[in-house]
Amino acid sequence: MIPITQNLLQTLENQNTQNYSTDLTLHCELHTKLNACNEEEEEEAMITDDDGTQNLLQTIESQTLSSEFHAKQEQKEVSTALTLFDKSWVSSNNNMTTLSAVSPWKIMKTLTKSDIGSSSRLLLHQSLVHAHIMAFFSADSVKKIESNGLSVTVFDRDSKSDYELVFKKWPSSKSYVFNGKWHEDFVARRKLKVGDIIGLYWDQCHSKFNFCVLQTAR
């Protein structure tokens, strides 16, 4: 009885060992296949990421090249020519015109009959004087301008010469005027006429007005 029992136990033990070996082999193969799948998925993900990165870089590069191209085109379109007067500087306001920041001529006016008449006065609109002139004068000077007038120097940029005029507020209207020898030193000397466009600005460095005929009437 004992030998039979021992043989039976040994047989059962061999079967269990074979089953365990088979299970272990299957488990290892399954694990190997899973690892292989994971590696393929990771490679595909890396390829996708690489493609996405490459596409992003290409997009950025295209946008950069496009921006550089437009910038160069805009530079080509900008004129570098220097001109004394450009109509794009001007915006009209009751025969008064103001120049944009690209021009030094802060006040601009188309001359009327009253500006070149025997009254010898150049009228400037109050809003333009307050915006571009009065801030440069002291309180005492402003009082003189508002009352009897202030003697000022006006530099004619065209003839490179200085003239003395009186700058004051005109009491009968919301305007300021240059009078004194306006007709003699400017209208007659420069042969100004109705429709001429003149420019003015205050030169803070030299404490005087600058004057120029920007465009003559046709």
Over residues 56-73, mean pLDDT: 59
* 108/4 same-domain check: no
Q: What is the pLDDT of residue 50?
A: 47
Structure tokens, 192: 């100004």
User: Which CATH number fits the domain that encloses residue 189?
Assistant: 2.40.330.10
As a whole number of angstroms, the distance between CA 218 and CA 215 comes to 9
Task: Provide the pLDDT for residue 217.
Answer: 92
Per-residue pLDDT, 135? 92
User: Do residue 135 and residue 92 come from a single domain?
Assistant: yes
**Higher pLDDT pick, 28 / 198:** 198
pLDDT band at 104 (very low <50, low <70, confident <90, very high): confident
Please check whether residues 105 and 188 belong to one and the same domain: yes
Range of the domain at 128: 87-215
Question: What mean pLDDT is reported for the chain?
Answer: 73
In angstroms, rounded to a whole number, what is the distance separating the alpha carbons of residues 119 and 117? 5
**Dihedral of the CA atoms 188, 193, 199, 204 (nearest 10)?**
20
Query: Based on the domain organization, do 96 and 204 belong to the same domain?
Result: yes
Last residue of a domain, which of 19, 48, 78?
78
> Contact, 158 vs 213, CB < 8 A?
yes
| Average pLDDT of the residues in 15-24 | 48
* One domain, residues 182 and 97: yes
Strand locations in 54-193 (E): 90-93, 96-99, 107-110, 122-125, 150-156, 161-170, 175-180
207: its two tokens: 């404490």
Residue 183 has a CB neighbour count (10 Å cut-off) of 19
- Domain end among 37, 61, 78: 78
* Residue 76 reports pLDDT greater than 60: no
Shared-domain flag, residues 72 and 93: no
* pLDDT tens-digit readout, 135-154: 999 999 999 999 999 999 99
Give the 3-state secondary structure of residue 74.
Answer: helix
Q: Are residues 60 and 134 in the same domain?
A: no
Alpha carbon distance 190, 186 (integer Å): 5
Indicate if 69 and 139 belong to the same structural domain. Answer: no
pLDDT at 35: 54
| Count of structural domains, the chain | 2
Q: Where are the beta strands (DSSP E) in 12-160?
A: 90-93, 96-99, 107-110, 122-125, 150-156
Burial class (CB in 10 A: 0-12, 13-18, 19+), 142: middle
- Considering the domain architecture, whether residues 146 and 185 belong to the same structural domain is answered as yes
> Which of 53, 78, 103 corresponds to the end of one domain?
78
Check whether residue 74 and residue 99 sit in a common domain: no
